[in-house]
Amino acid sequence: MAAPKVAVVGAGVVGLSTAMCIVETYPSCSVTILSDQFSPNTTSDVAAGMLIPHTHPGTPIHVQKQWFKDTFAYLFAISNSAEASEAGIHLVSGWQVFKNTPKEELPFWSDVVLGFRPMSKAELQKFPQHRFGQAFTTLKCDCPPYLLWLEKRLKATGVQMYTRKVADLWDLHSEYNVVVNCAGIGAHQLVGDEKLFPVRGQVLRVHAPWVKNFIRDGDGLTYIYPGIHRVTLGGTRTEGSWSLSPDPGTTKDIFDRCCSLEPSLRGAEDVQVKVGLRPSRQCVRLQRELLSQGGVKLPVVHNYGHGSGGFSMHRGTAKEAARLVGECIAALEGSSSRAKL
């Protein structure tokens, strides 16, 4: 068959990296990205971009670990290259602290990040309200630069990008051989996924260049993540809320909580408030589906529902989605060669 035409719906970190993996794995494909929003207007642009995984109860741990390992290795290589600054990727060391010792002192990802160890008594003196902590080095993506870097690399390989709101995946059947659904929270409406729900996150971006280490409360609600130019302070997790309007009371609460972990933040300046809707479900939906109407078939690969863990596993799930696209193409080629017989 002629070069297979693949459409990727969605231009957040999952959509862009899935398109990248398809291009790298199947260079003969013609890949197009369709999205009603591109950076800087995606949910990914709001994300803190820290590589600290969140556990998905519906996905086996060994699978989540592989996704994280693939992502960490990919970004670590970029952080060690001349592209690191443009891509907005850097190593950052810090602490995850707990008021009580967690049941799981060694999380599944502890041997993927660098130098993971329990905090010493001397280190814990910095956090008088906390009794236990973990120190490690991980990677941080500054999200808008990383998305723009991915877009630039995709365009250089000939990937087309169009601003287009896709209301129904079936609408693409006459233009494309395979469709990949990376619509994030948009999949709730696009494919009617009732298992997908928003978890609203509000964060602050501040100017505090003296803050060099990340600090994360073990409950995952309060965190301080230094980027290249600004420090991200968080956060919130409001299940079921679709509101994208910043809440001033929440802004004050986030700032106060972060200052209790790092009092020097009282001197932070130029506070910007961002809100995003994490596309959450029990497990990431990463699977093939065959749509058909009147004898016409459209192979679809779904890759959405990453919740808070989009950046931590985006490359790993993109690799898997690209493999599934390869299966779809092989099936199409098999059916077209059988048709010739």
Asked if the model's pLDDT at residue 179 lies above 80, the reply is: yes
What does the domain layout of the chain look like in residue ranges?
5-335
Kindly indicate the confidence band of residue 279, based on its pLDDT and cuts at 50, 70 and 90.
Answer: very high
Of 53-67, 141-155, 165-179, 327-341, which range is least confident?
327-341
Count of alpha carbons within 13 Å of 100, Cβ hemisphere only?
Answer: 2
Is residue 198 packed enough to be buried (19+ CB in 10 Å), middle (13-18) or exposed (0-12)? buried
Token output for 318: 């993109």
Supply the pLDDT for residue 219: 86
Q: Is 226's pLDDT higher than 70?
A: yes
pLDDT tens column, 318-336:
999 999 999 999 998 877 6
Annotated binding site for D-dopa: 223, 278
Phi first, then psi: what are they for 270, rounded to 5°? 55, 60
Report the run of H or E that residue 38 belongs to, with start and end.
none
Q: Give the tens place of pLDDT for each residue, 19-63.
A: 999 999 999 999 999 999 999 999 999 999 999 999 888 999 999
CATH code of domain 5-335: 3.40.50.720
Let me know the angle formed at the C-alpha of 218 by 214 and 221, rounded to the nearest 5 degrees. 80
Please name the residue that has the structure tokens 């494309």.
Answer: 176
Share of the chain above pLDDT 70, in %: 98
As a whole number of angstroms, the distance between CA 250 and CA 270 comes to: 17
Amino acid at 132: F
Binding annotation for FAD: 43-44, 166
pTM of the model: 0.95
> What DSSP line would sit under 53-91, residue for residue?
----TTS-HHHHHHHHHHHHHHHHHHHTSTTHHHHTEEE
Binding-site residues, in ranges, read: 43-44, 166, 223, 278
- The token pair at 68 is 């994280």
In which element (H, E) is residue 334 found? helix 310-340
For residue 87, what are the CA distances in angstroms to 82, 161, 240, 259? 9, 19, 32, 29
Q: Tell me the C-alpha distance between 111 and 8, whole Å.
A: 33
